[in-house]
Chain A
Amino acid sequence: MGISNIIFLVVFLVAITFFIRNLNRIIANIKLGRDIDRSDRSTDRWKNMFRVAVGQSKMTRRPVAGILHIILYLGFVIINIEVIEIIVDGVFGSHRFLSAILPFGLYNFLIGSFEILAILVLVACVIFLIRRNVVRIKRFRSKEMTSWPRTDANLILIFEILLMSAFLIMNATDALLFTSGASHYVTSFSNPISQYFQFMFMGMDTATLVAIERFTWWFHIIGVLGFMNYVLISKHLHIFFAFPSTYFANLNPLGQFSNLQSVTNEVKLMMDPNADPYAAPVADAAPPEQFGAKDATDLNWVQLLNAYSCTECGRCTDSCPANQTGKLLSPRKILMDTRDRITELADNKRKGKEDIKSLLGDYITAEELWACTSCNACTDACPIELDPLSIIMDMRRYLVMEQSAAPTELNMMFSNVENNGAPWQFPASDRLNWKNE
């Protein structure tokens, strides 16, 4: 084992350790949410995950972005097989160890497909960069897309472009070294794409070629390890969380909103003619549960998982009738705010810092919440079935049931329903008048 293998092992272990630590933190943050039972219908859940996350079935509703995304997704999944080889080579000092254990044809096929995918990914990333920065597609530039979210998106794309370039240059120089008979470079492989990059390195001496090959090799693996860690502080977390989010997604009809159990208990008690109105509360009874959500911890863990899974594509906001007519509401912002708030809240808790903020008020305003028409365009548009609408509804519940802070007209509507059983002020006795009009 040479010095470079030891360095590799250290870098690798440090990256993995950081990754696991930070991933565990995010999981702990998600567990700060209230409980919700999504353990039912496991067959349907697996099917949903395979169709929507693995199969990308909702992505192609917008064909350009959808097809480019599928290229990136396939590229990401398949090219990462190469990372296995890099890790083994890095630890044991071998060169392209897969070529030794796989049949020659299969290895060639693999490397050949990696190269084709790599160039496709590279092109897709360039198109994505153009869409974001030159074509300036509207949904990438709305209000909540402040400097960090925009930088984040661009960084990821540039990262991918650099990684793919490194991979192709590595192959190009490796093949040149093989042809020139340099020691250690003893594997021939199919290079359908990188052969066209070789001209840049023609005529270089062996030492330079080796230096470039090694540099791109290190760049590729450190890049991958760095990217893995970067993902945890980025919107890009969907590459992991899209799977659990679709598994735990709401499988009921979109129009079916949850019935709050805590309210059911109270209403049943109120309607029970045998209930003792003077009964003293049980001494050790738990304090009554707060209705609705004021802060991120009042949301359930699926909603928090959703918040971390959002990749800020903006399809929800782009289809939101309130947003598209200039209202303050943006479903994407609801998810981004939820994610930022639960992260902040958990960090403060971990550091023992005082925290006086809350999701409602400091992040999301009542005006945003009251702009929603509950039309489900956002939940339907989301490629991984995230549910910003349920967060909006839970926060409305807090505003109404804990703070009595509904808009005046809605308070009037409530009292009409309470008094005469209709949202308008008509006497219940007139309900059948239409029959004789």
Chain B
Amino acid sequence: MSELQVKTMAEFMAEGKEADILFWVGSAGSFDDRAKKITRAFVRIMNKANVNFGVLGTEESSSGDAAKRSGNEFLFQMQAMVNIEVMNGYNVKRIVTACPHSFNTLKNEYKGLGGNYKVQHHTEFIAELLAQGKLKVIGNLKGTKITYHDPCYLGRANNVYDIPRELIKSLGVDLVEMRRSKRKSFCCGAGGSQMFKEPENGAQDININRTQEALALKPDIIATGCPFCNTMMTDGVKTVDEGAAQVKDIAELIAENI
């Protein structure tokens, strides 16, 4: 099913046109099976709102976040400079991404290397579409209990706490908070490149600790806004109490209700 309207920046250029905004898909959003669904959900939202966006497609490369946070500054800067060269070549001014890690890196760490863009997390962008009336949410999730897990790189790292919550609330759901939320949020365990390695020895895996906290609220859905958090919480639910709750990205919740 290819009902999605997606054009690459190269296609825009070939037509002599420019996209208003670049959708940075990210490596997880491009290759991880679960995250690809989030990517598609977000594109459906943008299609619905007639957003004139482009993707880099095969010209996109890892943002370098994982390399940087592993200590491989060399690899990070190689990635950053290649990506910056590509994006500046397309005269990119605005970027939106569904990955808080790409969001943080592109927004904060590329500017020192010659990449100056207005970068938004997809929740910020969706909130803007709603505010501008380009998108309408049908709040038909009444009675659904949702808890929101703050991704570290969206929350503490960049102080975005309220917008994701407002989006969830716009669905008319019952939003319940974990004790450790917002700035006190407890990491899912994937940050700092832990996503790509086994955890160090310890008493418990971090995602289990966090999932137990979320499931204690007996939510129908654990919502988040990060492909890594999604993986960790999904695995967590499988281990702690399979089927106890769904783990969904905010983009998926919105896409299902427009």
Contact = CB atoms under 8 A, between A and B. Distances in A.
A333 B78 CA distance: 33
Residue among A377, A424, A430, A434 facing the most chain B CB atoms (10 A cut-off): A434
A396 B43 CA distance: 37
Contact of B158 (A253, A266, A428): A253
Contacts of B176: none
B104 A256 contact: yes
A259 B77 contact: yes
A407 B27 CA distance: 21
A325 B204 contact: yes
Interface stretch (B65-73, B131-139, B164-172, B250-258): B65-73
A409 B189 CA distance: 16
A372 B67 CA distance: 14
Contacts of A286: none
A324 B209 contact: yes
Contacts of A400: 70-72
A253 B79 contact: no
Interface string A403-437: 00011011011100110011110101111111111
Contacts of B30: 422, 426, 430-434
B66 A423 contact: yes
Contacts of A401: 71-74
B18 interface: no
A422 B67 CA distance: 10
Interface in B131-174: 152-153, 156-159
B152 A417 contact: no
Interface stretch (B89-97, B195-203, B215-223): B195-203
Contacts of B183: 380
A373 interface: yes
A335 B144 CA distance: 45
Interface residues of B, number: 73
B61 interface: yes
Nearest to B100: A255
B27 A410 contact: no
A374 interface: yes
A415 to B, nearest CB: 10
Given A321-B209, A428-B58, A397 B152 contact: no
B224 to A, nearest CB: 14
A322 interface: yes
B206 A373 contact: yes
B127 interface: no
Given A373-B152, A374-B191, A423-B196, A321 B186 contact: yes
B62 A422 contact: yes
Given A322-B200, A326-B202, A376-B152, A422 B31 contact: yes
A266 B32 CA distance: 33
Contact of A375 (B78, B82, B191, B209): B191
A263 B67 contact: no
Contacts of A397: 71-73
Contacts of A418: 75
A371 B200 contact: yes
Given A327-B202, A373-B190, A434 B36 contact: yes
A105 to B, nearest CB: 46
Given A431-B57, A431-B58, A321 B206 contact: yes
A431 B60 contact: yes
B61 A421 contact: yes
A326 B203 contact: yes
A254 B186 CA distance: 16
Given A371-B200, A373-B190, A434 B156 contact: no
A425 to B, nearest CB: 9
A259 B109 contact: yes
B62 A421 contact: yes
Contacts of A430: 30-31
Residue among A328, A373, A433 facing the most chain B CB atoms (10 A cut-off): A373
A325 B203 contact: yes
A406 B196 CA distance: 12
B108 A253 contact: yes
Given A254-B156, A434-B36, A429 B58 contact: yes
9 contacts: A254-B156, A254-B157, A270-B78, A328-B201, A400-B72, A407-B197, A413-B193, A422-B62, A432-B57
Given A254-B158, A426-B31, A430-B31, 7 more contacts: A256-B104, A259-B109, A325-B202, A325-B208, A370-B200, A373-B191, A423-B196
Interface of A: 252-257, 259-260, 263-264, 266-268, 270-271, 291-292, 319, 321-322, 324-329, 367, 370-377, 380, 393, 395-401, 406-407, 409-410, 412-414, 417-418, 421-424, 426, 428-437
Interface of B: 2, 4, 6, 8, 25, 27, 29-32, 36, 39-40, 43, 55, 57-58, 60-62, 64, 66-75, 77-79, 81-82, 104, 108-109, 112-113, 152-153, 156-159, 183-187, 189-206, 208-210
Q: Which 5 pairs across A and B sit closest by C-beta, in order of nearness? A: A255-B157, A326-B203, A396-B71, A374-B192, A421-B61
